[in-house]
Each structure stands twice: as C-alpha cells, then as structure tokens.
Amino acid sequence: MPITSSSQARVSLLARATRVATLAGIMGLGVAPVSPAAETPEAAQCPPAAYAMALRYQQQSAEVAALQRQSYALATRQLETLLASRDDEKPAAIMTDLDETVIDNSALLVRDLKACHDFTGWDTWKAWEREGKPTLIPGAREFLELAASRGVAIYYVSDRYEENKDATVTTLKALGLPGVDDAHVRLLGPSKSVRRQAIAKDHDIVMQLGDSLHDFADDFSDKTPEQQKALVAEQAQHFGKDWIMLPNASYGSWSEATLTAWDKPFSDR
C-alpha cells in the first residue's frame, strides 16, 4: 500500500541492499544472477534486486496463499463468535486495510523491480491506483460477502491517495467486493487512528484486518521492531480474535531492521 509518514512502512532498503542484490538476482524477475564472489557493476547498480526473494515469496509461493486463506478462515469463525456474543446497541462494523490485505499489488512491485526501480519510494503508486489491475487476496471476497450477509458494515480504510478515490472505488467494485461506496472507502488524509475513531462513533468495530501493525492501533506507529514485538506480546489477546493479520513480505516497518547472525565464524564450517 502507499505509506505515509505516520507509518514506518515507507522505508527504503537501499542502504543495505547493494550486497544482497548479488544474491537476489537469481530470482528470475529480470535481474541477472551474480555470485557474491564476482559482484558486477550491473548488480551494484541495481540495489532493488534485494527485494526479489521477498516478492517471489509474496507473489508466487503457495505458502503465502495458504496463509491468506488461513487468515480469512480464522476471520470467518471469529466473526460468527463475535457477532453472537456482542451486546453493543450500535451496528456492527469491520475495518479492513486494502493493499496486501484485500487486494494484491505485487504486479506493480515486480514491474518496478524489473526496471531496477526502488518501489519503496512510492512514486509509481499513483499511476497504479488509476490504471493498475490488482487481484484479490485469496479468501477476501468470500469473507467480506459473508460479513455483509450478516448485516455488518464494511469500511475499507487505506492509505491510498484521496485524489485517486474514484479510481480505487471503481477497482474495488470491479473486483466484486461488497459495500463499496464513497462513505465506506476511507483513504489517506486523517491518520488511521482518527478514521477508526470516526467509524466507532456510530458503529461497534468488531474486527480489524491488515498487513501492518499500524492497521490495528496507533500504538504501533513510530516504534522500533523490538518495541513493536513487545507491544504485540502485550496485545496478544487481540490477534486471531478481533485483529486478523495478513502476511506481507514485500514492505513494512521492519524493512531496515538489523539481522541477528549465528556467532560461529563462517570460515569454521
């Protein structure tokens, strides 16, 4: 999804990507394979190649498709439980993110990678919103149709650009998603926290879905990965209940986290 300064997901990996690019070229996404021992100028000039393995996993792996279906199967079971047990007089609502939660934008990211363009600058996203053809995340439409059939209001809350709202609404309708109209699609402007509060004035938000922690609560914004992990532990009761997380290996607030290696020297293998 397009990321704002209020979320940490808009970060570039380029500071670390050059060395990794030599390993990622084998991913078959238009970047020539290069061995670490024989790094070429071409590889050094294409740091975005470091994203290739993550994109292959996100777009092509059956494992991600299984995780996505698993997330929506869990959401389906939990929704029935939450609706049966709630006592709020306000009408029930679901708040869901769009990108990499309901719709798959990986084709844009792969196109940019093949052009050796760093998609985490988000400068190609507006054209994609207007002209691109995202696909549905497996299980998303079926779950949302079930929610609509139970009388649950669905709010699509995304950091897509407000100036492209008509195009986003058209895209969502073309994908056959329920309850899509101007009032139920809330795009970039106020923070997600503010948009969540606005929805909660008139609705009981029984469930939230997203691919990034800030989709669920503002507490996760502007935090380090370690701080986010601590917050996840503190908020563990929500995950798999009224917060449903979808996998996204393509981009996120973790993008520049320091990796932890085994301390045994590689030469001792």
User: The domain that contains 49 carries what CATH number?
Assistant: 3.40.50.1000
Report which of residues 172 and 256 the model is more confident about. Answer: 172
Q: CB-based contacts of 88: which residues, under 8 Å, 6+ apart?
A: 204
Residue 243 lies in a domain: yes
Number of domains forming the structure of the chain: 1
pLDDT at 157 over 50: yes
For tokens 């798999």, name the residue: 240
CA distance between the termini of the chain: 41
User: What number is the average pLDDT over the span 34-60?
Assistant: 74
Residue 257 in domain: no
Residues 6+ apart with CB under 8 A from 43: 18, 21, 22, 25, 31, 32, 34, 49
Over the chain, what is the mean pLDDT? 88
Q: Please check whether residue 168 lies inside any domain of the structure.
A: yes
Predicted model pTM: 0.86
Cα–Cα distance for residue pair 218/7, rounded to 1 Å:
9
Nearest to 254 by CA among 57, 51, 8, 5: 8
Contact 25, 52 (CB under 8 A): yes
Q: Is the pLDDT of residue 57 over 70?
A: yes
Check residue 163 and report its DSSP letter.
Answer: G
Other Cβ atoms less than 10 A from the Cβ of 35: the count is: 12
- The SS3 call for residue 224 is coil
DSSP characters over 73-128: HHHHHHHHHHHHH---SSPEEEEE--BTTTEE-HHHHHHHHHTT--GGG-TTHHHH
- Whether residue 127 is contained in a domain is answered as yes
Q: Is residue 50 part of a domain?
A: yes
* Residue 267 predicted with pLDDT over 70: yes
pLDDT band at 3 (very low <50, low <70, confident <90, very high): low
pLDDT for residue 100: 99
**Residue 2 within a domain:** no
Question: In the 3-class helix/strand/coil scheme, how is 168-222 assigned residue by residue?
Answer: HHHHHHHCCCCCCCHHHEECCCCCHHHHHHHHHHHCEEEEEEECCHHHCCHHHCC
Do 21 and 83 contact (CB within 8 A), yes or no?
no
In a domain, 3, yes or no: no
Its domain, for residue 208, covers 14-248
- What angle do the packed helices 52-60 and 62-85 form, to 10 degrees? 60
Which of 6-15, 100-109, 138-147 has the weakest average pLDDT?
6-15
Four-CA torsion 120, 124, 130, 134, nearest 10 degrees: -50
Q: How many residues does the chain have?
A: 269
Q: What percent of the chain has pLDDT over 70?
A: 83
- Do the domain assignments include residue 268? no
